[in-house]
Amino acid sequence: MYNEDEIRTIEEVGAISYRAVQMARGMVRPGVRLIDVAEKVEGFVRQSGFGLAFPLNLSINSEAAHYTPSMDDVREFSESDVVKVDFGAERDGFLGDCAACVDLSGSHGNLVEGVEAALGDALSMVRPGVTTGELGRAIARAIESNGGKPIRNLGGHGIGKHDLHSEPFVPNYDDGSGDALEEGMTVAIEPFATDGKGLVTDGDSCEIYQYIGPAQTRQPAARQVLGEVSKRYGNEPFAVRWLSGGAQSRFSLYAAILELVRAGALEPHPTLIETGNGSVAQAEATVIVESDGCRLLTK
């Protein structure tokens, strides 16, 4: 259980995370560059006195999650895009996590409505003793009633101190799990819907990594990157573009990261792609489980 000071910090982190997602949501328009949204919103959180739980995710269409702009990204939003905005702030190891969806195409309202309804239905059920399978059943029912498919290998999750994805896992369908919510848990409910096959797989691009631990490396550039990420970002995921301020060239930076992945020092988080190339919608909110329900943090 958290003490009063920790609860206050968790609520502040949740509130700034929500404000940041809403800021990004308002900036998602055709012709706007993804990198401009990411830099402004991440800068807003830092200037507000918080750290970043993870880089701003701006995943488009069949990209379900984990797309964040590269340091030289020229990509722009278009009128045909379904955009997922996923982000969270950090303070003293406490992490926020929330998401919203923007349908610029105007053609996937059923998917957006499905995940929003699923999120609302699941939140109304949260209390001690409710199982994750029961939450998944409600999520799937809302998504399917709006004509979509739940993504079966994505879902919500517990959040611990310096641990963005802890137990329990909250599926987007009834997987038969009897894992029960407990009072005091911090949980992110995270429905994903698609008009594709309902599964995601790793894509070819990767701009998000996470420090795992020390490793022996030969390249001076790799040692420099390892020292920077271990000192500045710790266990929280980081974007490659956050490291672009040094003297290294783009080639040497990515070569250093590849060596660190091979050495087991960094874990990659590649963009997740819907296997049927379907469009994907997402909604997410974080709560603390309380004795008679839950306290919404990302508001």
Active site residues: 86, 97, 157, 165, 190, 284
Of 245, 294, 241, 272, give the one whose Cα is nearest residue 52.
Answer: 241
CA 174 → CA 135, 139, 168, distances in Å?
7, 9, 14
Q: Which 8-state DSSP code applies to residue 122?
A: H
CA 271 → CA 57, 65, 116, 145, distances in Å?
10, 6, 23, 28
Cα–Cα distance measured from residue 102 to residue 57, given in angstroms and rounded to the nearest whole number: 13
**121 in Cβ contact with 138 (< 8 Å):** yes
Q: How many CB atoms lie within 10 A of CB 165?
A: 13
Phi, psi of 110, rounded to the nearest 5 degrees = -65, -35
Q: Which residues contact 171 (CB under 8 A, 6 or more apart)?
A: 132, 133, 135, 136, 139, 152, 155, 177
Taking the chain, what is the end-to-end CA distance rounded to the nearest angstrom?
21
Taking each helix axis from N to C terminus, what angle separates 4-27 and 34-47, rounded to the nearest 10 degrees?
150
Please provide the size of the chain in residues: 299
Q: How many CB atoms lie within 10 A of CB 127?
A: 14
